[in-house]
Amino acid sequence: MEFYERTREDEIEFNRFTEKVDNVYNNLRVYEDEIDLFDIASIKKNFIAKTNDFFREDRKLNIGIIGRVKVGKSTFLNTLLFDGKSILPTAVTPKTAALTRIEYDDENRIEIEYFTKDEWRLILSKSKDDIYTDEYVVAKEIVSMIKERDIAPENYIAKGHETIYFDTYEELMSSLNDYVGENGKYTPIVKNVSIFVDKEELDGISIVDTPGLYDPVLSRVDKTKQFMELCDVVFFLSKSTSFLDKNDIDLMASQLPKKGVKKVVLVCSRFDDGIRDTLWNSKNLKQAIDETRRKLTDYAEQAFINYRNSNVYVNNDIIEQFKHPIFVSSMVEAMAKKDVSEFTSKEKRVYEDLCSKSKPTAKDLKTIGNMDEVRAIFKGVVEEKEKMLEEKAKTFIPVAMDELSDKLNRISNLATKRREQLLEFDKEHLAEQKKNITTHINKMNANLEVVFNELIKKVEEHKQQAISEIRAYNREYLQVSEKEGVTTHYEIKKESSAVWFKPWTWGTSSRVIYSYDEKYQYIDAYDAIENIRNFVEDGKECIEQAFNRSLDMAELKHNLLSIIIDNLDTMGEGENFDVSYYKLLVEKTLQGIKTPVIEFPTTQFEDIITSEFSGEIKSNSMKSNFKKVLSDTIYDVREGICKKLESEVMRFEDVIDELKSNFSVNLLGDIQKELNTIIEQSSDKDNKIKKYGEIIEIIEKIDLKNV
């Protein structure tokens, strides 16, 4: 790939910009008691990091794969890069999520970065606290995983980094699970992994799976954000059954463009799930495919239009990119290449669901899979990488300038709001205002409790439904089909070799080998292992769906916000605070409510089967014994999944109870902090009013049009 050399003109422009940021910072530095300047200082730091990275001699096109847990990122990448082979481990969870980079090199190797001593110390500290927000729960689980694996984390943390070489690409991939797989031995202490493979089609590009955007472990979030600052192209995956939320939309339409990402491709993953939901009310499969596409496309278009209408600075060209999502199903793409007899149990269930109206053809499966469209876009991105990077080289200063302008506007707006309050109210009135708001929000508790209790009631109802579904699956996985085998038998017989017209052969004989085939019925012990694994996957999905059916976050936010605003209006306080301010506070509080990611290891159950049986089970007595062991094991799996559901519901209800108890306190926190700041500053009222006026004046005079 062409190396972009930093020209003398680049140096001059970049220096002018950093000097501009320094001047802005220095002009406002005297007001650090009134405003926070950290964001201004970080602009220069990020700008230097991005430009230095871009002009590296080995600079690649950075392609990010983003999406929440369980959207099918690993399967997507396996299908896109490795012809559907299960190379990258699937079912990664938040506590095991590591940023994974894939690049070309003629030496097959992996480079591992472990947690630092300080990061590990923080995880250990959080694991011991009696707090159950995401980062503390994940810390507890990481420490628990370390104990289960019986490894000494300090030995690896002391290393910091480690590089492991492999003779072949296949050897590398077979060892990868140890470091990034859900059940990998070293996964809990790995922060990120770089994979270098001898695949020339990856030359010049760097593909990164970035689960850390939603990671409870802050050090992994930092690493992901560092990469996002350098990202050129993003494939954003959102699964069809829970397509796009506000955070996803904000990330694609605002945050990524502000970081200089040149292209964002919206991918609706696990498309077959959406089709299967629609199929029951459709005449045929084609209608279900078309209807699901239309429904989700309309939803995406309206969601981004609504976002643009409420965010005036969003670029219309950016919004246009997302009006036509790409619909894919990596699993069905793989199914299209197989005969039905070759399907796994999970693929068979998907196929049977798709057959509910008519039997899908290979062409139908290919249409649902639709990975050719992704490959075409990916190929186009790679082919245009020189052009994209050339365009990016021209945007460093405009992007950073927009960021600087946004930060200054925020500072100016805050200074204006504080100045107005200091001008309008005295210290006693502000204190009274704080008291009134505090008293009134406390009175909301009764109404708020009703909303939270209704949520718990829904969870309990869907829990019972999930248990029924799990018990129904139990019957399905008790069955193992008998297969037909063939044994070839050989017999040696002595036969006369005499020929009547050759007297010298009379009385002679020769040995002749005869063979015949005998068919027999057998059970494959591995089928039981697959049944157990699929039962667990279905059970986990039942649990996740129970929570997804219960949690309508948009409705919950609306109900809570309505209660708050209605009560403030009743007290005559509503006009003193912006509704959007309370909306942000509600959303911040509700971040504690998340669908749990379910883990349920199958190793102990698989061991029960493999300790007694292997290979082909032929005799009737062994078959009978095998079915009895499988029945007992499936029963244990069922009970274990149901207990897991019960425990997750209990933990979820504990989180809701804690939120319910602390909602008013959490809601008041930022309001009280801001009012306390104004009340404290009102003791030096005239001086603070003067300083805020100076801040506003300085920002107004800053010329951001010229570097």
3-state secondary structure 375-418: HHHHHHHHHCHHHHHHHHHCCHHHHHHHHHHHHHHHHHHHHHHH
* DSSP E strands, 80-168: 99-104, 109-114, 161-165
Topology given in CATH for the domain delimited by 427-481+524-684: Four Helix Bundle (Hemerythrin (Met), subunit A) (1.20.120)
- Whether residue 91 has pLDDT greater than 50: no
**pLDDT greater than 90 at residue 550:** no
User: What is the average per-residue pLDDT within 329-338?
Assistant: 88
What is the spatial distance between Cα 214 and Cα 219, in angstroms, rounded to a whole number?
Answer: 12
- pTM summary value: 0.62
Identify the CA nearest to 356 among candidates 283, 271, 274: 283
Nearest to 322 by CA among 368, 261, 369: 261
Q: What is the mean pLDDT of residues 395-424?
A: 86
Give dist(CA 387, CA 381) in Å, integer.
10
- Most confident region among 311-325, 354-368, 440-454, 598-612 by mean pLDDT: 354-368
Confidence label for 96 from pLDDT (cuts 50, 70 and 90):
very low
Give me 200's structure tokens: 């020339």
* Per-residue model confidence (pLDDT) at position 310: 66
Strands 61-66 and 233-239 turn out to be parallel
Q: What confidence tier does 216 reach under pLDDT thresholds 50, 70, 90? A: very low
Residue 590 has pLDDT above 90, yes or no: no
User: Which of 11-15, 177-181, 593-597 has maximum average pLDDT?
Assistant: 11-15
- Predicted confidence (pLDDT) at residue 293 exceeds the cutoff of 80: yes
Least confident residue range of 40-44, 161-165, 408-412, 436-440? 436-440
By the 10 Å C-beta count (0-12 exposed, 13-18 middle, 19+ buried), 445 is classed as middle
**Per-residue model confidence (pLDDT) at position 33:** 85
> Exposure of 35 by Cβ count < 10 A (0-12 exposed, 13-18 middle, 19+ buried)?
middle
Mean pLDDT of 113-126: 87
* pLDDT for 312 beyond 80: no
Q: What does residue 563 show for φ and ψ, rounded to 5 degrees?
A: -60, -45
Confidence band, pLDDT 50/70/90 cuts, at residue 681 = confident
Between residues 369 and 243, the one the model is more confident about: 369
- Using a pLDDT cut of 70, give the percent of the chain over it: 84
Q: For position 585, what pLDDT does the model report?
A: 55
Structure confidence at residue 315 as a pLDDT band (50, 70, 90): low
CATH 3.30.70.1560 fits 55-403, yes or no: no
Q: Which residues contact 5 (CB under 8 A, 6 or more apart)?
A: 55
* 494-518 residue pLDDT tens: 777 777 777 777 777 777 777 777 8
End-to-end CA distance of the chain: 30
Asked if 260 and 395 touch (Cβ cutoff 8 Å), the reply is: yes
Q: In this structure, what token pair is assigned to residue 103?
A: 């690049």
**Cα-based torsion angle of the residue sequence 560, 566, 570, 571 in order, rounded to the nearest 10 degrees:** 40
Q: Would you kindly state where each structural domain of the chain is located, as residue ranges?
A: 55-403, 427-481+524-684, 485-520
| Percent of the chain's residues with pLDDT above 90 | 9
The Cβ of residue 299 has, within 10 Å, a number of other Cβ atoms equal to 14
Between 372 and 100, residue with greater pLDDT:
372
Residue 39: predicted pLDDT: 81
- Mean of all residue pLDDT scores within the chain: 80
**Which whole-number Å values give the CA distances from 664 to 237, 448, 580, 586, in the listed order?**
35, 9, 17, 10
Q: 620 vs 585, which has greater pLDDT?
A: 620
| Mean pLDDT comparison of 74-88, 156-170, 177-191, highest-scoring range | 156-170
Q: Which pLDDT score, from 0 to 100, does residue 69 have? A: 67
Q: How far apart are CA 577 and CA 675, in angstroms?
A: 12
Determine how many CB atoms are found less than 10 A away from the CB of residue 85. Answer: 12
Spatial distance between the Cα atoms of 246 and 307, rounded to a whole number of angstroms: 9
Which segment of 208-217, 308-317, 676-685 scores lowest on mean pLDDT? 208-217
pLDDT band at 575 (very low <50, low <70, confident <90, very high): very low
